[in-house]
Amino acid sequence: MRIHSELCHKDENIAIVKVTGWENDKILGTSLGEANSAEEAEDRAIKRLINLLNTKKVDGTSSEKSNIVDSSNNLNKIIQQDIINNSKAKKDIETKSPREVDEDKIISKNSITEQKEPIDWSEELSIIDANLKRLCWDREKEGIYLDRAFGYKNRNMITEFSVIKKFVEALEKTKSGTKPEFADLPLQREDLMQKSNKLLSLLDWDMPKARTYLNSKFNCQTRQQLTDNQLSEFNKLLTQLLEKTENKNSS
């Protein structure tokens, strides 16, 4: 049996998802789920569909009834196996020591777990409009900032929800009266990681030495535990150390 999910409604308070169970070209049943998030609503709808298929009285032969029950049981097994696999994967990661995890690979695009992006961005767009009004920025000024921060000429060109979230966070931190040409740009974590990689290489530090220094300054074992602001501060400290080293070598 295959499952088809459809988002019926989404606002700031509630999400409603409809799921339909199919066996080849035959619809076995449908169910609605309601929750605060689309993911939770989908889970509830699937559980209701399973219960429906387990209890539904089917007119016809006993073999037809058996096929539907078998399909719902198979779906139950798939869901349970996903839960077991996810728990096992989480446990495997938690039991690894920092040295067993290559933190630079963690941030690569191939190793980041793909997250479902919400379909409805209306809440974030409303926050953006409210902040633009507070800052007295029109569409032209908004475009100036977007171009500086993300390389987009206008908001309609943005296709990634992560960029919208960063735009919201940046606007909320911007003080009223600030011109878009001089407003602080959002921190880009991958850029910060690449910069620290370069600085560590120039300092000729191996990973144990870098971790020792990181722990002395931030009480952390890996850069992944730092916030963006802390990572930026870490890079400043490395830059200062590099400047001192260069000055000492030149004297």
Q: Please give the backbone phi and psi of residue 121, each rounded to the nearest 5 degrees, phi first.
A: -105, 10
pLDDT at 26 (0 to 100): 75
Q: Judge if 166 and 200 occupy the same domain.
A: no
Q: Judge if 135 and 76 occupy the same domain.
A: no
pLDDT at 62 (0 to 100): 44
Alpha helix ranges (H) inside the chain: 38-55, 62-94, 103-106, 122-135, 139-149, 161-173, 189-203, 207-218, 228-250
Q: Judge if 88 and 18 occupy the same domain.
A: yes
* Spacing of C-alpha 203 from chain mean position: 33
* 3-state SS track over 63-91: HHHHHHHHHHHHHHHHHHHHHHHHHHHHH
Taking the CA atoms of 236, 242, 246 and 248 in sequence, report the sign of the dihedral they define. Answer: positive
Q: What is the pLDDT along the chain (251 residues), one digit of tens a residue?
A: 677 778 877 777 777 888 888 776 677 777 788 888 888 888 888 888 887 777 654 444 444 444 444 444 554 554 455 445 555 544 554 554 444 444 544 433 333 334 456 778 888 999 999 999 999 999 999 999 998 888 888 888 888 888 898 899 999 999 999 999 999 888 677 778 888 899 999 999 998 999 999 999 999 888 888 887 788 889 889 999 998 888 888 76
Q: Which residues form the domain of 241?
A: 189-250
Which amino acid belongs to residue 49?
A: L
pLDDT at 95 (0 to 100): 53
Residue 205 has which token pair? 């530090």
Which amino acid belongs to residue 37?
A: S
User: What is the pTM (predicted TM-score) of this model?
Assistant: 0.38
What DSSP state is assigned to residue 32?
E
Q: Judge if 9 and 75 occupy the same domain.
A: yes
CA distances from 40 to 15, 108, 251 (A): 9, 28, 64
Pick the last residue of a domain from 173, 203, 235. 173
Question: Is 112 inside a domain boundary?
Answer: no
Q: Judge if 154 and 234 occupy the same domain.
A: no
Q: How many other CB atoms are there within 10 angstroms of residue 112's CB atom? A: 10
Do residues 202 and 241 touch, judged by C-beta distance below 8 A? no
Q: Judge if 25 and 81 occupy the same domain.
A: yes
Question: Long-range contacts: 208-216, Cβ < 8 Å, 24+?
Answer: 211/98
Residue 73 has which token pair? 């049981």
Q: For tokens 């295959």, what's the residue?
A: 2
pLDDT at 151 (0 to 100): 80
